[in-house]
Amino acid sequence: MSVMTKLQSSVKPVSEEPRAILGPAGNRGRVSEEPKRKNESLKNLQRPKKQVPRIPESIVQNNLSVDSSCSSDSTSSGSSTKIVNSRRTVKRNGVKPAKVVPDDVDFVAFSLKDPGPIKRCDWITPNSDCLYTAFHDEEWGVPVHEDRKLFELLVFSQALAELNWLAILNQRDIFRKLFENFDPSSVAQFTKEKLLTLKINGIPLLSEQKLRAVVENAKRILKVQHEFGSFSNYCWGFVNHKPIRNQFRYGRQVPVKTPKAEFISKDLMHRGFCCVGPTVVYSFMQVAGLVNDHLLKCFRYCECNATIKKELKPKYENEKVQTEALENKCSSND
């Protein structure tokens, strides 16, 4: 063997591995870029891909729909569904979709109208006191013909300048006790000392002017009874013994006084009555039933009219017959 051949056989083949390279962090060995890229590509091929979870179509439709949920029954019945997002509105089958109502809606309550409570006048609300509501349903606007009751209602109408109806109704028993059940003959004898004792828990029942007016009006009622036979005949004579039936639809239409009230007020003042202005007189006419000011929608409007037809009209007809018989008897004696 030649020397040249020995030298070639003794020389070791150069390794294909890369030599060490000084990196920025120190004397660390790193492979060249080419093998690294090959290794990374192999790793990426061997590494399983992340699977993106598929969102069910029903959830997507629910998120895009106007309503939060849709009924399966409405879908199966072929009704179109309206899908609305922030950009566009999708129509299916070329037909304008109808709004889908969730399943939890009570269709019976949705379709049927609630009849609601009994209709009353506008000044009676669901928050009104039960005593005030009962007063409206049972007394206000009902014709009154008893002199004591008319005197009581006249006093209450005068007291409205200082109190409201609810306060008066709460103290009605006290009023009746202190005014001796509103007997005009008894109240007419009240002295100034007696008026000073008319108090509730140390507070005067009414102002001194109103208390003096009550006593003075009681005296005038006695004179009216002597002239007209009763205070009732005097009061009802202004309306021809027949209640005035107004037909107001709204509470704002109800007046606080009328020409008829002004006429009655002047006549009362002419006879010596006190604190009987047109407003007081009209309140008295309303509560005593001389005028029916229940609104047309109020159930009491028709009931008051029915009561008048059944009870009051025969009474006045009997009184008219008796009056004619008495006049004929007097003329025959002459």
Write out the binding residues for Zn(2+): 121, 136, 294, 298
Q: Which burial class, exposed, middle or buried, applies to 279 when counting CB atoms under 10 A from its CB (0-12, 13-18, 19+)?
A: middle
Residue located via tokens 């049927």: 112
Cβ neighbours, 10 Å, residue 110: 8
Cβ neighbours, 10 Å, residue 302: 12
- The sign of the CA dihedral 130, 131, 132, 135 is positive
Q: Which two tokens stand for residue 195?
A: 């008026």
Annotated binding site: 121, 136, 294, 298
Q: Which two tokens stand for residue 53?
A: 């979870």
